[in-house]
């Protein structure tokens, strides 16, 4: 199962703001299960990359302190028609990607 990403982006005067909503529990590994007294196992997205036309523009590292179902917005030097791709993986190796053609 891959991680679901919803993204939107628009270019204005050579600068594109790309927003993404990611569906993910972002379990930090510190939250306790009160019934068993054991922590919920960590499961969070740790690397996120944003590529413009196949070239890496942003390389992010996250911890479990990013909110569940993360929202992310970045600004890129890109024009309408450029292809923006988000690639991410979590600490368990699950991955997700999504591509968007800028308007």
Partner 1 sequence: MKRRSFLKGTLATGAAAVAVNAGLLTPSTVLADWNKAAFAAKKTDDALNSVYGSASATASGDVKLKAPAIAENGAVTPVTVDASGMSGVESISIMASKNPMPLVCTYDFASSAIGYVSTRIKMGETMNVIAVVKAGGKLFKAEQEVKVTIGGCGG
Which positions lie near partner 1, rule CB under 8 A?
15, 19, 28, 30-32, 46-47, 49-50, 52, 55-68, 70-78, 87, 89, 91, 93, 95
Cβ closer to partner 1: 68 or 103?
A: 68
Instruction: Give the C-alpha separation, 102 to 84, whole Å.
Output: 7
Measured from the CB atom, is 73 or 103 closer to partner 1? 73
**Shorter beta-carbon distance to partner 1: residue 46 or 98:** 46
Question: The dihedral of CA 35, 29, 70, 67: what is its sign?
Answer: positive
- Which of left, alpha, beta for 92 (phi over 0: left; psi -120 to 50: alpha)? alpha
């Amino acid at each position: 199962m891959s991680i679901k990403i919803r993204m939107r982006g628009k270019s204005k005067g050579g600068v594109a703001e790309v927003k993404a909503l990611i569906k993910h529990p972002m379990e930090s590994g510190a939250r306790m299960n009160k019934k068993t007294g054991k922590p919920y196992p960590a499961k969070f997205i740790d690397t996120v990359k944003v590529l413009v036309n196949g070239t890496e523009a942003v390389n992010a590292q996250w911890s479990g302190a990013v909110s569940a179902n993360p929202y992310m917005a970045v600004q890129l030097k890109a024009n309408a028609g450029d292809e923006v791709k988000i690639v991410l993986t979590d600490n368990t190796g699950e991955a997700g990607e999504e591509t968007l053609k800028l308007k």
